[in-house]
Amino acid sequence: MPNDVLIDRILALVADSRPSERLVLKLAAAVIKQLDEDNYDIRQDADARIKLSGDEFDWLPDLFEVWNGIPRPKHWATPERLAAVQREKREIAAIREELSLDHAAAIMEYIRRQDERRK
């Protein structure tokens, strides 16, 4: 992953940190890992350095949830992902208008076109 060196540096600070600092460092490392949406799967991450202890889980701010012992912001999407979703919505709307389709049919046509582009 492109951010491995940064994550290692952040987590190196955990050893000499107070409990509250340790939580913030783990949150930072976990969020940085999740920025690599193409290569990172939180369900498969076995990095014990970012997994929360019982106490840390209790201290977690309300805007975070825990998957596989790893903190992640709730309802979170990167700006790149949000832009991609908006682009998809515009393309589906254009297909809907161009072919006079209902929304479901336009989505199916969009998927078909995406599959063709990948070939």
pLDDT digit string (tens) for the chain, length 119 residues: 678 899 999 999 999 999 999 999 999 999 999 888 778 888 888 899 999 998 898 898 888 889 888 998 887 777 777 888 899 999 999 999 999 999 999 999 999 998 898 88
Q: In angstroms, rounded to a whole number, what is the distance separating the alpha carbons of residues 101 and 28?
A: 45
Q: In angstroms, rounded to a whole number, what is the distance separating the alpha carbons of residues 11 and 49?
A: 7
CA-based nearest residue to 106, from 118, 92, 116: 92
61: left (phi over 0), alpha (psi -120 to 50) or beta: beta
pTM higher than the cut 0.85: no
